Chains A and B, each alone.
Chain A
Amino acid sequence: MTKATAARGALRAMMRTAPKAMVRTAIVAGAAALLLGGCGGGREQATLTVWQTYNDEESPVFREIVASFEEAHGVTVEVVRLPFAGAEPKIQTALTTRTEPDIARVDVSFLAKLASKNALLSLEEYVPREFREEILPVALSSCVYDRQLMGLPDQTNGLCLFYNRELFRQAGLDPDRAPATWDELIEYGERLTDADEGVFGIGVRNSLWWSLPFFYTHGAQFLSADGRHCRLNSKEGIAAFQLKVDLHRKHGIEGGAWRSGGIQNDLGFQNGRYAMILNGPWAVENLKRTGIDFGVGLIPAGPEGSRTNVGGNNLVIFKSTKRPELAAEFLKFVASEEIQRMWATRLGQIPVNVRAMDAITSEEHPYLAVFAKQMETAIARPQTPYYPEIENLMNPEMQAALDGTKTAKEALDAACEEIDDLLAGE
């Protein structure tokens, strides 16, 4: 038998088993899908397009706000909901082809990046001074880049101290009173910690953003006024960070929540491992659902009092918009007293409009009232387009100090040197 005839035998056997039917079905399905794809386009012309990143609870409320704006102005607003995680690359890609929307909701640090790339419309001539005075100053300052107003806040938040009332009771502490100062926090922590049981007074995250309350309560500045130099290794900065390191290394009341692979602080708080953590107003609803008995207090005071940093989101208008006045109206509408009052009461969030602050009563919103009070002494982050890069330089150094491989001063000096190089390399 030659090779060729043997092969022919094998070949015939195979022809019988070829999964023809399967292939045929797949071709039909594929072709149908490509045709179907054609009907994806064609929607009615909107006068304004808004890309938003609200969560499941906020989105329906935002849609109502949009509907009343549409009615008031006789326009159509197209709203696209984006996942927070993909919004930045999507906006950046859209900008390269000029397909960006009129308005987008962006994080505080992304605003600076967009403004530095000259993508945003300055609102200086669209938002009058009287209106700006209604906006919470720290939130408004997060929209200012290079002394120009580049957006309006739609949501603001800061950090407070969450504490487990049940663990406070067990340690013989007053469950209605959070520690007022860092010294008191250490004292409380020592009574709450039972290292053998795996229970610690506090859990802290490592990153710079989560460390800013330590720095700010000690009066440390983040960047110099011109935004070109890191100031976290000042005398105050080192003292602040030393305190954070000491919570773990010296006093042993911190459970290692900053470690990769350690019990993360939200998790530890939910399971009674950490009696206290820093967290924002977004955590309140979820913690209520877990059924643990917790309270919220102001950030413990340092030499400069009780201070938090500020996060949140702003609405911005892209330069390419064809309807700048209408877009600016929309931003003002969202930040207006009436809408913010509704937003705050419906969703339990801090209003960005100071006139709506009275909507947050301590009877109805006991936790939120504390946050609202904390916002009065909040400190805005300096506007730099390099904030994510600064975090990337700072965090490993801070980790080294928490690990004990560097002193607080060595870590901050090293990080600040790298950050200065980054800021100078502009």
Chain B
Amino acid sequence: MEAQPGIAIRRALVYVGLTLAAIVVLFPFFWMVITAVKEPGHAFTAEVLPRHPTLDNFRRVLSDFGFGRYFLNSVIVATTAAFFATLFASLAGYVFAKKKFFGRDKLFGFLLASLMIPGMMYVVPQFAIINAFGWMNTYRAMIVPHLANVFGLFLMRQYMMTIPSELLEAAKIDGAGEWQVFRTIMVPLSIPIIATLFLLTFQFHWNNFLWQLIVTNVERLYTVPVGLALFRSQHEQSYTLIMAGSCISVLPIAALFFFAQRYFIEGMTMGALKG
């Protein structure tokens, strides 16, 4: 009992520290929201809180600039791409982690080496392929080239290697087939890493600007980052519109983090095997 005051003080300090950190992290979001409700031209004036708050920026962004359509496009592209990239990475990760075949480690090393190539190098060859397929101006063009994700494979393999092989053997004794083993053991046990990878790939596709712009020549297929960039012309930025658009654009990411959080915590507390 005598140690209590010390702990209380330490705890108070931790809370103060965390609160300060939270303020630092949240300030840009605060600024984004208050700028989004300011009148055009007042983005950088000395008033911290808008004198005449308005929802007009949101109205203009959604109705005059078709942001709803961009948002829908982004949702379709990011969800589909993240889902399939995660699926393929976990299938491949399972094989690389748990199956033995000729040249496995060499092949894995070779795939890893491809991470050294900067992403920008792929843009032109990938675009040439997409164009040869006649896929310009399709969702396919935005989604398919990014489905094979070596980083995701690496992440999944490393995690799945930590899952004891005894579990797989046990399932096989129970008569589970290959697909069932994957679906009922590997996937549920890997949920924390699957959630992480889904989130990372979703975020990547949600923010992807250049590729989505390059493969689309029609405004109705533009995604959110391309739509946001339209508010920036050569010399000036419509900050209030950009911030209103940004408010809308962070919603899915924020929601995803909120829901995925559960799995991160679950992953740390889940103990499947003892003794």
Contact = CB atoms under 8 A, between A and B. Distances in A.
Interface of A: 1, 3-8, 10-11, 14-15, 17-19, 23, 26-27, 29-30, 33-34, 36-38, 40-41, 43, 53-56, 80-86, 89-90, 93-94, 96-97, 99, 107, 266-267, 270-271, 280, 282-283, 286-291, 313
Given A6-B275, A80-B218, A56 B230 contact: yes
A83 B188 contact: no
A40 B221 contact: yes
* B44, B124, B171 interface centre (most CB from chain A within 10 Å): B44
* A3, A23, A266 interface centre (most CB from chain B within 10 Å): A3
Interface string B134-152: 1011111101000000000
Contacts, number: 172
A291 to B, nearest CB: 8
Contact of A107 (B141, B184, B234): B234
Given A81-B219, A99-B136, A271-B45, A280 B188 contact: no
A34 B232 contact: no
B62 interface: no
A86 B210 contact: yes
A23 B183 CA distance: 10
Contacts of B174: 8, 11
Nearest to B125: A96
B166 interface: yes
B22 interface: no
Nearest to B183: A18
A30 B144 CA distance: 12
Contacts of A30: 79-80, 83-84
Contact of B184 (A14, A43, A53, A290): A14
Nearest to A8: B170
B4 interface: no
A36 B220 CA distance: 14
Contacts of B136: 41, 99
Contacts of A7: 164, 166-167, 169-170, 272-273
A13 to B, nearest CB: 8
B189 interface: yes
A348 to B, nearest CB: 13
Nearest to A312: B234
For chain B, what secondary structure do more than half of its interface residues adopt (helix, strand, loop), or is it mixed? helix
A267 B44 contact: yes
B166 A86 contact: no
Contacts of B128: 96-97
Interface string B186-205: 01110100000000000000
Contact of B143 (A29, A37, A287): A37
Contacts of A15: 184, 188
A84 B234 contact: yes
Size category of the binding interface on chain B: 35 or more
Contact of B188 (A14, A82, A313): A14
Interface in B68-93: 76-77, 79-80, 83-84
Given A6-B274, A7-B273, A282-B236, A90 B219 contact: no
Contacts of A26: 79, 83
A56 B189 CA distance: 50
Contact of B273 (A10, A43, A90, A280): A10
Can you list the 4 inter-chain pairs with the closest CB atoms, starting with the nearest? A289-B41, A37-B139, A83-B229, A55-B233
A288 B229 CA distance: 24
B218 A43 contact: yes
B83 A11 contact: no
B238 interface: yes
A81 B221 CA distance: 12
Contact of A280 (B171, B173, B185, B235): B235
A340 B100 CA distance: 71
A280 B235 CA distance: 9
Contacts of B50: none
B131 interface: yes
B256 interface: no
Nearest to B167: A7
B231 interface: yes
Interface in B213-259: 213-214, 217-219, 221, 226, 229-236, 238, 241
A329 to B, nearest CB: 23
A90 B139 contact: no
Contacts of B218: 40, 43, 80
A268 to B, nearest CB: 9
B226 A86 contact: yes
A34 B234 contact: no
A303 B226 CA distance: 46
